[in-house]
Structure 1
Amino acid sequence: MLMMNEKIKAREVELTGLNGEELGVVSRDEALALAKRHKADLVCTSLFSSPPPCKLVSRGQAKQEAVKVKQQVSGGPIKVKEFRLSVHIEDHDYDTKLSQMHKLLAAGKAVQPVQGKEGEAARKLLERLVQDLAGVGKKETGIQVSGKQAAVKLLPV
């Protein structure tokens, strides 16, 4: 859990500045005043020492870093949105699905276009789709044709 600003209860903290410079042991109130003056957050890096080491971090940056760390720790599988396509898809429908996949890939999510029934024609359609999405997505594996179904998984770049 991230301890920030007024949630830090220690009387004194070992303070590190915005640029990593050591500022020594200062009172909590002095550290909070410094943080306010520099428009920064006071973040406690460890609760297991006395006085606790704290650092000044640009406002908002600490929460962003905490979210990134939490995502890395959870490390769960990336959710994949599956898109069903037809070989005889009309241009407008193709453009709509392409746009939806583009948005998802740009947002950091994976997509998996799937086409059933037509083996070789499906491969060509998926190759066209992979080329059209090359700017925001890359293939995790090649185009996989199994029986009459073809699929490819695209990960965000």
Structure 2
Amino acid sequence: MEVFGIRKNELPMNEDIRDKEVRLIDTDGGMLGIMPSKEAQKLAYTKNLDLVKIAPNAVPPVCKIMDYGKCLFEKAKKEKEAKKNQKIVALKEIRVSAKIEEHDFDFKVKNAYKFLEDGNKVKVSIRFRGREMQHTITGKEVLAKFAEAVNEVATVGKQPKLEGRSMIMILDPKKQ
């Protein structure tokens, strides 16, 4: 979307600055003071640089003399670097039952280990069906046993809690 030739997330520059007076900052960050915007534009043109409005809401608006193309390139480079360093944590779910057998339990614990070692959070849930709702205490015991089995690589982020017909516990990976 363009308004007055300015794109939405771009800073106004050169002729797009229509204020009478601006507070001007030099290329090295030094304050040049308040001056008419036409004079500030001439000063920028003599240095073969752009006049960019960096703080449009200030009174008077703050403008800086800089190479706008280089500024955009540096900004894009920083954003790309920040995105590369970001760690995405997924929430993996493991479903168990209140009457789980020992072998199945061990298999689920092994899968939880893999997820937690990869740095993901694990949501362990038990779904109670029919009359099982009367025996939620056994479900809580199974979740406590599960947390104990993975305590080397995980901490309990959210204690077991009954939500409707499901009991849910969140395990967070331990920091290495």
**Letter of the 2:146 counterpart:** L
Task: Tell me the residue number matched to 2:100.
Answer: 89
Change beyond 3 A, Cα 1:67–1:92: farther
Task: Tell me the residue number matched to 2:159.
Answer: 142
Unaligned runs of at least 5 residues, structure 2: 1-69, 71-79
1:120 aligns with 2:137: yes
Report the Cα offset of residue 110 of structure 1. Answer: 1.1
How many residues align structurally? 93
Change beyond 3 A, Cα 1:67–1:121: farther
1:70 equivalent among 84, 95, 114: 84
* Counterparts of 2:152 and 2:82, CA distance in 1: 24
Report the Cα offset of residue 121 of structure 1. Answer: 1.1
Task: Tell me the residue number matched to 1:44.
Answer: none
Task: Tell me the residue number matched to 1:25.
Answer: none
Q: Can you list the C-alpha shifts for 1:47-88, whole angstroms capped at 9, x where unaligned?
A: x6xxxxxxxxxxxxxxxxx9886243xx65x21111111111
Report the Cα offset of residue 147 of structure 1. Answer: 3.3
Q: Secondary structure at the match of 1:140?
A: strand
Give me the identity figure in percent.
Answer: 24
Which consecutive aligned stretches of 4+ in structure 1 deviate over 6 angstroms post-superposition?
A: 66-69
Task: Tell me the residue number matched to 2:146.
Answer: 129
Q: Which has the larger radius of gyration?
A: 2
* Counterparts of 1:155 and 1:69, CA distance in 2: 23
Report the Cα offset of residue 93 of structure 1. Answer: 0.5
Deviates more, 1:86-95 or 1:145-154: 145-154
Q: Secondary structure at the match of 1:88?
A: coil
* Counterparts of 1:132 and 1:143, CA distance in 2: 15
**Letter of the 2:170 counterpart:** K
Q: Can you list the C-alpha shifts for 1:106-134, whole angstroms capped at 9, x where unaligned?
A: 11111111001142111110001001111
CA contact (8 A) 1:81 1:112 kept: yes
CA contact (8 A) 1:140 1:155 kept: yes
Change beyond 3 A, Cα 1:79–1:67: farther
Q: Secondary structure at the match of 2:158?
A: coil
CA contact (8 A) 1:144 1:150 kept: yes
Q: Looking at both structures, which has the greater relative contact order when contacts are Cα pairs under 8 Å and sequence separation is at least 6? A: 1
Task: Tell me the residue number matched to 1:45.
Answer: none
Unaligned runs of at least 5 residues, structure 1: 1-47, 49-65
1:108 equivalent among 106, 116, 119: 119
Q: Secondary structure at the match of 1:135?
A: coil
TM-score with structure 2 setting the length: 0.46
Report the Cα offset of residue 145 of structure 1. Answer: 1.4
